[in-house]
Amino acid sequence: MRLLSPAFFIPLAACAGRQSPLAPAGLQAEWQHWLLMLMFWVCGIVYALVMALLGVSIWRGRHRLAAAPETSPDDRRLSRGLGLWAGMIVAGLTILILGSFVVERELAGERRREALVVRVTGQQWWWRIQYRDPAGTGWIETANELHLPAGRTARIELGSVDVIHSFWVPNVAGKMDVIPGRANAIDVTPHRVGWFRGQCAEFCGAQHAHMAFDVKVDTPAEFAAWLAAQARPAPAPSGAAVVVTNGPCASCHTIRGTAARGRAGPDLTHVGGRRSVAAGTLPMSRGALQGWIAQPQALKPGTLMPAVALTGAQIDAVAAYLESRK
C-alpha cells in the first residue's frame, strides 16, 4: 500500500501549474477545457452505466441459471432496454456535437478580431520570435521567450526552417504544428498575468525535450514598455568582450547596434533579460552563459552551436557582457 500510494498521485502532478491544460489562463484554453469537461462527464456517465448494467446482467444471469436454467429471457423487456440505451447514446452524441459546435463558433469569432501579430519560427532546437516594431521600422527579434499582453488576441504566425515542430502552451491555447514550407497560425487571448511554459510537442530530433520556451503574460502597459525596451539597440562591448561582435560569434548571432549580424543563431541583443539559456536547458546566469559558450555540445548534444576557441578571459568577458544585456 505504501508503494502504491505515491504512484496513485503521480498522474495528478500534471493537473496544475504553469504547463497544464487543466489550469487555463486564456480564452482558447478555457473553451477547450470546457469541451474536455463536457466530454469527460458525458463519456464518464455512459461508461459508469455500461459497467453497472454489465454487473447487473452478470448477477441476474447467474441467479437465473441457478434458480431455473430453463427460463427464457423476456424479449419485450430486452427490446425496451435496448431502445432506451440507443436513445441515451444518441442524446450523448448530440450533446458532444453541439458542444463542439459552440466551441468552434467562439474560437472562430476570435479569429475575426484585430490581433497583435507575432512570428514564431521553430528551429533545431530553439524558437525565433519576432514582433512588429511599433515605430514601423521592421521587426524586433528575440528568442525562446514569448511576451503577450493580457486581454488582447495575439495571432501567432508559425513557420519552420528545418523539420516539423509543434507549438504548445497548454495554459493559454491548444497545439499547432509548425511545418517547413507551410504557414500556420494560432490565435491566443491570454487573460491571466503571469509566467507559463511552452514546449515543442512534436518529436524533432535528439534535443526535442530541450526545446522549451517561456511565456510571460503582461498587462498592456507592461507589454508596451517591454516591447519599447526590446527595440533599443545594444552598446558595443569593450575589452576582451569585443570578440562577440567581431569574432566567430558575430557570424551566427545578431546584436543590434553592433557589427554582429549573423542569422543562424538567436538574436542576443537583450539575451540577459531572458529566463533561460539554450531554450530552457539552463536558468539564465553568468555561469550558465560561460558553460554554454565553452561547451555547448556537453550541455546540449547535437546542438548546431559549435564550440568556439576562446580563452578563459574572453569567455568571462563575453558572458559578463551578455548577462548585462537586459
Cβ contact 103:174 at 8 Å: no
- In Å, how far from its chain's centre is CA 60? 51
Query: Which comes out higher in pLDDT, residue 80 or 16?
Result: 80
Q: What's the grid cell of residue 211?
A: 526545446
Query: Which comes out higher in pLDDT, residue 2 or 272?
Result: 272
Tens-digit pLDDT profile for residues 203-216: 999 999 999 999 99
pLDDT of the residue at 114: 67
**Which residue's C-alpha cell is 497548454?**
170
Strands 154-160, 116-123: pairing is parallel
Rg (CA), the chain: 27
11-15, 43-47, 280-284: the lowest-pLDDT one: 11-15
In eight-state DSSP terms, residue 165 is: E
pLDDT of the residue at 67: 56
Closest CA to 313 of 226, 252, 239: 239
Rounded Cα–Cα distance for residues 149 and 127 (Å): 19
Q: What's the grid cell of residue 17?
A: 501549474
pLDDT of the residue at 62: 65
Average pLDDT, stretch 153-169? 94
Q: What's the grid cell of residue 170?
A: 497548454
- Does position 277 have pLDDT exceeding 90, yes or no? yes
Q: What's the grid cell of residue 128?
A: 525565433
- Does position 292 have pLDDT exceeding 90, yes or no? yes
pLDDT of the residue at 1: 44
pLDDT of the residue at 95: 84
- Does position 176 have pLDDT exceeding 70, yes or no? yes
pLDDT of the residue at 94: 85
Q: What's the grid cell of residue 188?
A: 491566443
3-state helix, strand, coil in the chain (%, to 5): 45, 20, 35
Q: What angle do CA 99, 101, 106 make, to 5 degrees?
A: 100
Positive/negative CA dihedral, 148, 149, 153, 154: negative
- Does position 4 have pLDDT exceeding 50, yes or no? no
Strands 139-143, 126-132: pairing is antiparallel
22-26, 60-64, 139-143: the lowest-pLDDT one: 60-64
- In Å, how far from its chain's centre is CA 39? 23
Average pLDDT, stretch 156-160? 95
Backbone phi, psi, residue 40, to 5°:
-60, -45
Burial label for 312, CB within 10 Å (0-12, 13-18, 19+), is: exposed
Tens-digit pLDDT profile for residues 77-133: 766 777 787 788 888 888 888 888 887 777 776 666 767 899 999 999 999 999 988
DSSP lists the bridge partners of residue 283 as 276
Query: Which comes out higher in pLDDT, residue 71 or 221?
Result: 221
Average pLDDT, stretch 227-235? 91
pLDDT of the residue at 208: 94
> How many Cβ atoms from other residues are within 10 Å of residue 262's Cβ?
16
Burial label for 153, CB within 10 Å (0-12, 13-18, 19+), is: buried
Q: Model's pTM, two decimal places?
A: 0.78
Backbone phi, psi, residue 282, to 5°:
-135, 145
Positive/negative CA dihedral, 90, 96, 98, 100: negative
3-12, 59-68, 73-82: the lowest-pLDDT one: 3-12
Rounded Cα–Cα distance for residues 127 and 162 (Å): 12
pLDDT of the residue at 9: 47
Tens-digit pLDDT profile for residues 133-157: 877 778 999 999 999 999 899 999 9
- Does position 72 have pLDDT exceeding 60, yes or no? no
pLDDT of the residue at 11: 55
pLDDT of the residue at 137: 74
Query: Which comes out higher in pLDDT, residue 42 or 10?
Result: 42
Instruction: Identify residue 90 by its one-letter amino acid code.
Output: V
Helix (H) or strand (E) holding 67: helix 27-67
- Does position 34 have pLDDT exceeding 50, yes or no? yes
pLDDT of the residue at 105: 75
Average pLDDT, stretch 288-313? 91
- Does position 196 have pLDDT exceeding 50, yes or no? yes
Q: What's the grid cell of residue 76?
A: 419485450
Instruction: Identify residue 216 by its one-letter amino acid code.
Output: K
Strands 175-178, 194-200: pairing is unpaired
Q: What's the grid cell of residue 183?
A: 504557414
Query: If you average pLDDT over every residue of the chain, what do you get?
Result: 84
> How many Cβ atoms from other residues are within 10 Å of residue 86's Cβ?
10
